[in-house]
Structures are given as structure tokens and as C-alpha cells.
């Protein structure tokens, strides 16, 4: 679904160069565990006060166990005479994630059992992992593999699986309320710019923004290895889960397609909030129902937790040709798309923080607006792009202690910010009070 990248939901820019951060992180080899994850979180920690957590190998977490730590130094396929054909140093997708060490000369037939290619995309390198497979392998272009006709090849993977730990990052920004917004991204993919780094970059910038602001809600930012990272956090934080009122998983935010939002499992305010912001954003978008496949929303929305967490993305995993291939590179991720994604989520967070419920001090009949100066105030707001008289009338009619500002904005079919402005004007005129 194409999107016009010229439009924007906000004139404000992130405090950092999002594409620049993606570029800095791109060469680092990441996996579920290991030095690359720590290096990535170290870069993020230069921008926000990130708490780095280590969970030891073998730790039981829900139905899982923290795996061995994996690190790799090199990997290659060479001719017997020594000419190198495939080199991990050239592209860190070349080695199957979590490959055990191997060294020696083997037949092409045996090597074929450990080679992964994309016959339908013969010029691209696939991204593959073998986290729990006790195996090794190489990923290369199908065109290169077809050209490799020698009977034997020299293979080498200098890697290590050892007792260590799994690393994740967390930043909690307390608010005036005990209620929280949970925002997460995954940090376990190697050089994939959209399906990994776009989420890290946008979330880092959002955390920087929220850290500078006073907010009603608390904000919890989690930088997690996929699946096992979310399971670890849920296992270790079960006493805090009742505080989470809204949640977003962020991924694939740098390509030029329209926005896609996958709803939470049971339906939640976050679903209505995101759909409302998208409707008034000027971008093309699609709202999709929950399904139990995808990113970490399926962990947060598992039946024992059923948290109000949805997933926001541009391209949908598995549906764009660059997905999990070497084509998901720095050229595929566009600076203007990253900035748009940041601005859209910024608007969503503002809505969540400002979504309150009001009731009229005296709800009998329509209040006289002229003697309170509200006609003049609305006229001034209209010139500034704020509330209209109709927005104010909608607000005063629905301020019954039962309708939130989001309810009102959806009912009136106007951007949330206009109803929030109307609420502020009515509150200043002592026509309403905020309900607890």
C-alpha cells in the first residue's frame, strides 16, 4: 500500500538523526545473546538512561529456559586452494545464527545440507537462524551457490556457545499516575535495517522525548531479544503487569509503505487510539485484527496475561520482498519514513497521556458561552488550527463523566487535539471538572 511521504502528522522532529542511528547500528552482529546485543544497547544508552539487565544461561522463565550465549568471530567458505567465496566479514547474514563451530574440508554434497539460499530471489542473501538446532550453516545468494561447482570446499565458523547471559535494556519514566504505557522493540537481528533497527531508532528518540517531558502516565521502554526477551520480562515483572494500561510493539517503521496496526487480543483503548490517530494523519493505513503470529505482541497478549498491547508497523512481516534478506539494507529504510513514524507515534503517546474524562459542573441545558468569552477564545483557537465552536459544543454535550476525550473525538469524527483544546477552554471557564 503506497504512502505519500510528503505529509506529516507533526512539525516536530526527533532529537536525533534516526537514519544516522540506523546507519551506526547496521554493521553490528546481533542475535538472541552475545556481544553484539550489548554493543547495540551501549549505543542506545548514550542517548537515554538505559538499565542493562543480564539473565544467566539456564534460568527458567515461564515455560522456557535462557539459552547458551552465542558469539562469533569469523565464518567463511573457500575453495580448497584458499580463494574465499563467502565471508562473514562482508555480510553478517552469511552465517546461520547460533551456528556451532566447524572447520575442515567437506564435499559439496555435504555442504549443500548446510546452505540456505533464495531461489526466487537469486541475488539476495537470506537471514536464517538455528537458535535451538545444534547445527551450523551458511546463507548466500542462490546465484553464487549455483556457480560453486567444485567437489570440495573448505568451511570455517569460529563461534562459541557458552554459559553466559541474555541481555536486554529497560527505561522506566514514572508519571503522575501509577498507570503505564509499555513500548517495546526487538534487538536480536543482525544487519536488517527495517525489521530491527528502525524500531530501535524510533523508540530511542521517543524515549528521549518522553524523558524531557512531564507526563500523566508512566512510560516503560523495553529493548528485547524477540520472544525469549519478552517472556523473561513478563516472568520477572508479573507484580507490575496490572499497571499497564496501553502498549505498543514497534517494528518495520522505515520503509515507504502505508502504516499497519495489528490490534490487541481482546480489544483495548490503544486500538481505538491508534486507529483514530491514523484516520486523521493523512497517511494510508490498515487496521488488522489480532492473530497469534508476528512479534512480541503475541507474548504480551497470551491468555495468562492478555495485556492491552498492539503492534504498529509500516511493511508487514513476511509480505515485502526485502523481508529477512540482504535487501533490507540502509537504502531500503528512508529518513522521511522514519521521521513520519516517529511523529505518528508521538501523536499517539500524546493522546494516551491527555485522554481524560470530564463532567459538567451544571449539565442542565447549554451554558451561555458569550459571557464567558468562549466564542472569542474559540475564534482565536480556530485561527491557530485549534478547536471550533462545534468541537466545544460536542465536548460540553458529552462531558457527562462517561465519555473520555477519545470517545468524544471518535463520536465527533475530529482530531483528538481539537477536543483536548475544547476541554481546556471549558475547564478554564469552570464549566467542567475532571473526574477521577
Q: Which of 248, 227, 222 is nearest to 299 (CA)?
A: 227
Would residue 426 count as lying in a domain?
yes
The answer to whether the annotation marks 94 as part of a ligand binding site is no
The answer to whether the annotation marks 276 as part of a ligand binding site is no
Cell of 39: 554493543
The answer to whether the annotation marks 47 as part of a ligand binding site is no
Q: Residue 184: left (phi > 0), alpha (psi -120 to 50), or beta?
A: beta
**For strand 285-288 and strand 259-262, is the pairing parallel, antiparallel, or unpaired?**
parallel
The pLDDT assigned to 368 comes to 83
Note down the domain range covering 141: 70-162
Extract long-range pairs of 371-375: CB within 8 Å, 24+ residues apart: 372/429, 372/431, 373/429, 374/425, 374/426, 374/429
Please tell me whether residues 323 and 301 are part of one structural domain.
yes
Kindly report the pTM of this predicted structure: 0.94
Please tell me whether residues 125 and 262 are part of one structural domain.
no
Of 162, 193, 213, the one marking the end of a domain is 162
CATH of the domain at 249: 3.40.630.10
The pLDDT assigned to 11 comes to 46
Please tell me whether residues 301 and 189 are part of one structural domain.
yes
Would residue 130 count as lying in a domain?
yes
Would residue 12 count as lying in a domain?
no
Please tell me whether residues 281 and 230 are part of one structural domain.
yes
User: In total, how many domains does the chain have?
Assistant: 3
Please tell me whether residues 114 and 102 are part of one structural domain.
yes
The burial of 212, by beta-carbon neighbours within 10 Å (0-12 exposed, 13-18 middle, 19 or more buried), is given as: exposed
The segments of the chain whose pLDDT lies below 70 read: 1-12, 375-385, 436
Please tell me whether residues 28 and 88 are part of one structural domain.
no
Would residue 10 count as lying in a domain?
no
Task: Provide the strand spans (E) within 26-121.
Answer: 51-56, 60-61, 64-65, 69-79, 84-87, 102-107, 115-116
Is the distance from CB of 19 to CB of 275 less than 8 angstroms?
Answer: no
Would residue 281 count as lying in a domain?
yes
- The label of the residue with cell 493523512 reads 282
Amino acid at each position: 500500500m503506497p504512502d505519500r511521504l510528503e505529509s506529516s502528522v507533526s512539525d516536530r522532529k526527533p532529537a536525533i538523526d534516526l537514519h544516522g542511528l540506523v546507519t551506526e547500528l547496521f554493521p553490528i552482529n546481533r542475535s538472541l545473546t552475545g556481544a553484539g546485543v550489548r554493543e547495540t544497547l551501549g549505543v542506545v544508552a548514550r542517548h537515554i538512561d538505559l538499565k542493562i539487565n543480564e539473565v544467566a544461561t539456564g534460568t527458567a522463565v515461564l515455560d522456557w529456559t535462557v539459552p547458551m550465549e552465542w558469539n562469533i568471530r569469523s565464518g567463511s567458505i573457500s575453495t580448497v586452494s584458499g580463494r574465499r567465496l563467502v565471508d562473514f566479514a562482508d555480510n553478517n547474514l552469511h552465517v546461520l545464527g547460533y551456528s556451532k563451530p566447524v572447520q575442515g574440508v567437506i564435499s559439496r554434497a555435504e555442504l549443500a545440507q548446510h546452505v540456505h539460499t533464495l531461489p526466487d530471489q537469486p541475488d539476495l542473501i537470506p537471514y536464517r537462524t538455528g537458535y535451538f538446532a545444534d547445527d551450523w550453516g551458511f546463507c548466500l545468494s542462490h546465484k553464487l551457490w549455483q556457480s560453486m561447482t567444485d567437489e570440495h570446499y573448505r568451511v570455517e565458523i569460529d563461534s562459541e556457545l557458552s554459559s553466559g547471559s541474555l541481555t536486554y535494556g529497560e527505561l522506566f519514566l514514572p508519571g503522575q499516575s501509577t498507570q503505564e504505557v509499555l513500548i517495546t522493540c526487538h534487538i536480536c537481528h543482525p544487519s536488517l535495517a527495517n525489521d530491527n533497527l528502525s524500531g530501535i531508532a524510533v523508540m530511542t528518540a521517543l524515549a528521549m522525548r518522553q524523558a524531557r517531558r512531564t507526563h500523566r502516565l508512566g512510560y516503560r521502554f523495553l529493548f528485547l531479544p524477540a520472544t525469549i526477551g519478552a517472556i523473561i520480562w513478563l516472568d520477572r515483572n508479573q507484580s507490575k503487569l496490572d499497571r499497564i494500561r496501553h502498549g505498543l510493539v514497534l517494528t518495520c517503521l522505515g520503509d515507504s509503505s502505508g502504516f499497519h496496526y495489528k490490534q490487541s487480543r481482546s480489544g483495548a483503548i490503544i486500538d481505538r487510539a491508534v486507529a483514530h490517530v491514523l484516520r486523521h494523519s493523512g497517511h494510508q493505513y490498515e487496521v488488522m485484527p489480532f492473530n497469534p503470529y508476528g512479534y512480541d505482541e503475541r507474548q504480551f497478549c497470551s491468555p495468562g496475561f492478555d495485556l492491552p498491547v498492539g503492534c504498529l508497523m509500516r511493511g508487514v512481516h513476511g509480505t515485502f520482498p526485502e523481508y529477512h534478506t540482504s535487501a533490507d539494507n540502509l537504502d531500503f529504510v528512508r529518513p522521511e519514513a522514519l521521521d513520519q513514524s516517529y511523529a505518528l507515534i508521538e501523536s499517539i503517546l500524546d493522546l494516551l497521556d491527555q485522554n481524560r474524562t470530564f463532567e459538567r459542573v451544571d449539565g442542565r441545558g447549554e451554558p451561555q458561552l458569550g459571557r464567558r468569552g468562549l466564542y472569542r477564545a474559540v475564534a482565536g483557537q480556530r485561527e491557530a488550527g485549534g478547536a471550533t465552536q462545534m468541537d466545544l459544543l460536542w465536548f460540553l454535550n458529552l462531558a457527562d463523566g462517561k465519555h473520555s476525550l477519545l470517545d468524544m473525538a471518535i463520536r465527533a469524527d475530529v482530531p483528538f487535539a481539537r477536543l483536548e483544546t475544547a476541554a481546556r477552554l471549558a475547564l478554564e471557564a469552570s464549566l467542567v471538572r475532571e473526574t477521577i
